[in-house]
Amino acid sequence: MAKKVAFVSGSSRGIGYGILQCLAKEGFVPVMSDVFEEEKVAEALAGLRALNAEASYVRCDISNAESRQAALKALDERYGRVDLLVNNAGVAPNVRLSILETTEESFDRLIGINLKGTFFMSQAFANRMIAWKAAGTEDYIPRIINISSCSAYTSSPNRGEYCISKAGIAMATLLFADMLAQYEIPVFEIRPGIIKTDMTSTVEEKYNKFIFEDNGLPTKRWGLPSDIGRAAAALAGGAFDYSTGQVINVDGGFHIQRL
């Protein structure tokens, strides 16, 4: 049986790394990617190789067209296939500002990375996946997973550009799921809730109060990168292929409307 390759953007730490760990345990060849040079992620890569000796690193700035194409070329040359693309790379505002104060620079940065980057990564990889299928790649059923956020539908007026970028990813998922169904390439969206990562460390006190004191979540704990990883592994396994376009909330029940 052919070895299946999983490429996860923004995966040198946090949610992306948690996803790669789970995929490696499921037998995928995990390809870590981020904007750093390989020596800066050597420790993380070593951790992956302890799970799967074939783990590798491919640098990719998803906001840059040349970088996207270079990453895809490297994957094609090294493996001749990508069975799973997980669009995880994303950023938060450098400074949280009210929508009455935020800047065009901040808006452009978040849309450029979070939304535009995800859209054109999906486009580039989808076209190559179609070509790999047409070429008769062995045991090949590719899939795409987009990592968005509960912010896709939850108002946070002090980081509106982030919410808009994630809401855009939700529609991008539907568009690609619709277009790629004819090629039997399922596309999914995972919406994390409050996940314990470097990105949320700056607001840890706020979220601790929300979770443990204010009854904000039905499941009274922080989410972990491994929670997202297990959901991604389940989708990658093929059990949900007839549910293309589906949103998987991994949020401790945050999406439940409660009285």
pLDDT of residue 74: 97
Residues 227-256: tens digit of each pLDDT: 999 999 999 999 999 999 999 999 999 999
Q: How confident is the model at residue 201 (pLDDT cuts 50, 70, 90)?
A: confident
Q: Give the CATH fold of the 5-250 domain.
A: Rossmann fold (3.40.50)
Residues 100-111: tens digit of each pLDDT: 999 999 999 999
Query: Could you say which DSSP state residue 3 is in?
Result: P
Residues 13-50: tens digit of each pLDDT: 999 999 999 999 999 999 999 999 999 999 999 999 99
Q: For residue 1, is pLDDT > 80?
A: no
The residues spanned by each domain of the chain are: 5-250
For the chain, what is the mean pLDDT?
97
Residues 148-190: tens digit of each pLDDT: 999 999 999 999 999 999 999 999 999 999 999 999 999 999 9
Average pLDDT, integer, range 102-126: 98
